[in-house]
Amino acid sequence: MRMSNLFSQTLRQAPAEADVTSYQLLVRAGFIRQLSSGIFSYLTLGVRAMRKIEAIIREEMDAIGGQEITMPVVHPAELWKETGRWYQVGSEMARFKDRAERDMVLGMTHEEVVADLVRREINSYRQLPRLVYQIQTKFRDEPRSRAGLIRVREFTMKDSYSLDADWDGLDAQYRRHYQAYFNIYHRCGLPVLAVGSDTGMMGGSLAHEFMYLTPIGEDTLFVCDACDYAANREVARFRKPDGDDEVLLPLEKVATPDATTIEALAAYLKIPRAKTAKAFFQMATVPDGDEYAERFVMAIIRGDMDINETKLTNALKAKALRPATEDEIRAAGAVPGYGSPIGISGVLVVVDDSVATSPNLVAGANDAGYHYLHSNHGRDYTAQIVTDIAAARDGDACPACGEPLRSVRGVEVGNIFKLGTRYSAALGATFLDENGEAQPVIMGSYGIGVGRLLACVAEAHNDARGLIWPVTIAPFHVHLVLAGGDNAQVRAAAERLYVDLSRAGIEVLYDDRDERPGVKFNDADLIGLPLRIVAGAKALAQGGVEIKRRAAEQGAVVAVDAAVAHVQAELRALRAEIDATVVEVPFRE
């Protein structure tokens, strides 16, 4: 490719809205252009890099038995209504009506469509297991696009779906994806961490996210440096101290004027916060038969901890959760600042397991200015749900080994889910087992955001001068710079080298433009191809051309006749460095 023909240009300055390094560099280097908020065009360099990533994904999916298909972008709403997600997913799903006034959906994920295909194509256990995948454009109407390709509205996604007759088959396909994902990221030059995660709107029994650790990440993760525990904040557990071994004391109402917060209460009674029970009042939209209804919820946690709303939402199987208003709190019989489940009926009570094992806690008396001493779950009130609803914090004890947890930020570049029969049962995607009985197909879902992966690689591989692409996904292998095009010998050497490299199967971006050498060198550094070759009078006087790795400070002069072989050797070495990172990774729940 000659740069004089390239359909893009480099920019000296990034646009004002480019808020992270990868966004700034991808725009400046001419890889992407924004059309609208969260919607981008990929120019030639961007498309070539994306195609390299997609080729790696296809190789790894094919290696574990994947078969590529393509599913529609537009879905009839009936499919989403059958699974219930039409009613569960909010405004991020783009809905519209066709000319026949039928409800339609722009695909943001394809579980429903796959399940519909399965109920049409799979009849017998002899047709299982299967694995299908696609790489396709999707749309999610994000309320807040940010960071260039990191969070967008229109995006390219690889999603695969495993289909099995039994749970052992799902487990095997899930683990194969786990390793294949590490292979993909490592082949792209991106270090990632797999963490346990919330199943969210996808549903299912188990999920992992693959995270690139970076300060620009939106997700908070908790990791243990002493063992391999890692989890998204939404589901992170920690080892809670055992409750004191105490005799249960009688409930006693005491005056606690102006003690409307745990801090004020603990200070007034001169007790640690761990000896208090903290109440959160929420309105939850929860299942009620075949419908959903809003219910008042009291969530109780020990005063030295905080509620994790994702855990609480999952415990309630809630569609939505919001803070209760003061009027709603009083209508339930509680008093803001002094509330507890004691003496209250008709409300849904959820208790953190730390409260259930901690005796004699101070709790609200539902009377302004008063609390109860020595409240005990199971004696003074009983919760409908007792489970872990506590938010992990820096320094909390690792649930696996007890050492302190540490929080880090990350960008999710992929996820895998054990869906089970969530979608197949809803859509009637069944097969006949060996006994001739109908069984729902057991499914898994596995996604990778291709554009986000590209952006994260750009975020990970750059310096003050520009991008530094790993050889496996660089849009071209070599940036050939003609320095001094008015010199006939130099131009002849560059033209010859361009032809020889191309014939050898080496992808070359040839800067043949009528620009100053300094401009060309700056653009080569900005675009960031693995190797740069400079054909100039100085190097030619020494008998060759200068060849330099993008990441190196110095290059070497190589004879023109030996340049192709030298480049081939450099590319092999760069690929070997990437290949060395592709190793087996132990699976962890």
Cβ(478)–Cβ(509) under 8 Å?
Answer: yes
Q: How far apart are CA 124 and CA 572, in angstroms?
A: 47
157 contact partners, CB below 8 Å, separation of at least 6:
135, 136, 137, 138, 447, 448, 449, 450
Place of tokens 């480099």: 10
Candidates 1, 26, 11; CA nearest to 454 is: 26
Which residues are 510's β-sheet partners? 2, 480
The pTM for the full model equals 0.89
pLDDT (tens digit, 9 = 90+) per residue, 290-303?
Answer: 788 999 999 999 99
pLDDT computed for residue 548 by the predictor: 97
Task: Please write the tens of the pLDDT for every residue from 547-566.
Answer: 999 999 899 999 999 999 99
pLDDT at site 204: 67
Contact by Cβ (8 Å): 441, 431: yes
Question: Given this model, what pLDDT does residue 327 score?
Answer: 95
What's the fold here for domain 50-236+406-459? BirA Bifunctional Protein; domain 2 (3.30.930)
pLDDT < 50 regions, the chain: none
Q: How many CB atoms lie within 10 A of CB 465?
A: 14
Q: Where are the domains of the chain?
A: 50-236+406-459, 252-387, 476-579
Name the class of domain 252-387.
Answer: alpha beta
Which CATH code fits 476-579? 3.40.50.800
User: If you compute the radius of gyration of the chain from its CA atoms, what whole number of angstroms results?
Assistant: 30
Query: Per the structure block, which two tokens stand in for 354?
Result: 């730390």
Q: 92-147 pLDDT, tens per residue?
A: 999 999 999 999 999 999 999 999 999 999 999 999 999 999 999 999 998 888 89
Per the listing, tokens 């990533």 go with 53
Other C-beta atoms within 10 Å of 555: how many?
Answer: 16
State the Cα–Cα distance between residues 426 and 56, nearest whole angstrom. Answer: 34
Q: What one-character-per-residue DSSP string does 458-475 give? A: HHHSEETTEE---TTT-S
Query: Tell me, what's the pLDDT at 202?
Result: 59
The pLDDT assigned to 17 comes to 86
Does this chain's domain 50-236+406-459 share its CATH topology with 476-579?
Answer: no
pLDDT of residue 203: 61
Q: Round to whole Å and give the CA distance between 394 and 224.
A: 10
Taking the C-alpha atoms of residue 44 and residue 48, their distance in angstroms, rounded to an integer, is 6
Amino acid 244: pLDDT: 75
